[in-house]
Amino acid sequence: MRDATGPDAPVLAIRGATKRFAGRLILDGLDLALGAGEVYALLGPNGAGKTTTINLILGFLRADAGEVRVGGLDPATAPVAARAQAAYIPEQVALYPGLSGLENLRYLATLAALRLSRSEAGRLLDEAGLAGEAHGRPAAGYSKGMRQKVGIAVALARRARLLLLDEPTSGLDPGASADFARTVRAAASRGTAVLMATHDLYRLREMADRVGVLRAGRIAEEIDPRGLDAAALERLALARPAEEAP
């Protein structure tokens, strides 16, 4: 674990984070550190605590014990400042159905105190892989993949130090998934730290620098995915399934 306060402080530092729901232990002393430009994948079955970890980082939940720091800030006590350093794509991207993808992006950017021109917003949607003809259509008619792409554009617009991705390729077609992997690597090359919770073992190998296997509420193993094939990763992920978390 790196020093959380020095000049090389990690973008994300989690130390001994514990979280229970209704008496059930979901995270049990989780340790995790992530530096600028790193892509870290959290691997584990449903209920392993991947989304709970992201919720702690965003300050949506408060750890029962341990500490979480985003850029040195505690999201439990300074959630707004901590979240200002992060961008987030949830597993199910929900949009305002009456607005088009372009309008959703510009509106969500405005809420984050960003100013996006129409052309900038269009470029971000292109970058996220949303077809140009869909930019102006109401989001009510979007598929899950199209909504996901708008979510990606929202996150890209933030140019945040930390990118949190919860099952980011879920719902994307193979082409879009490959585009997304390239987008993530491009963000990392610009110095963005990326933490993603995923089941997508194939894309994980393309995107991640490190993989943490979440088991029994802590990182059971941390590995370099490039040396493993998908079958080996799958064996690791499913070795000891955790209990379901809320």
Q: Which of these, 165, 173, 201, 40, lies nearest to 93 by C-alpha position?
A: 165
Which stretch, 14-22, 104-112, 181-189, 206-214, contacts another protein (CB under 8 A)?
A: 104-112
Among 98, 136, 174, 191, the residue binding another protein under the rule CB under 8 A is 98
- The CA-atom distances, in angstroms, between 163 and each of 134, 146, 185 are 25, 19, 11
- Asked if 83 contacts 158 with a C-beta cutoff of 8 angstroms, the reply is no
Establish if 143 lies at the interface with another protein (CB under 8 A): no
Establish if 107 lies at the interface with another protein (CB under 8 A): yes
Instruction: Please give the sequence-ordered ranges of beta strands (E in DSSP) within the chain, or none if there are none.
Output: 12-21, 24-34, 39-43, 65-70, 86-89, 162-166, 193-198, 210-215, 218-223
- Asked if 12 contacts 193 with a C-beta cutoff of 8 angstroms, the reply is yes
107 or 241: CB nearest another protein: 107
Which stretch, 7-15, 101-109, 122-130, 223-231, contacts another protein (CB under 8 A)?
A: 101-109
Among 43, 125, 154, 208, the residue binding another protein under the rule CB under 8 A is 154
153 or 233: CB nearest another protein: 153
Establish if 94 lies at the interface with another protein (CB under 8 A): yes
Region 165-224 residues binding another protein, contact defined as CB under 8 A: none
Q: Which residues contact 70 (CB under 8 A, 6 or more apart)?
A: 11, 12, 57, 82, 83, 85, 86, 162
The contact set with another protein (CB under 8 A) reads: 58, 60, 80, 83-84, 86-88, 90, 92-96, 98-99, 106-108, 110-115, 151, 154-155, 158, 160, 164
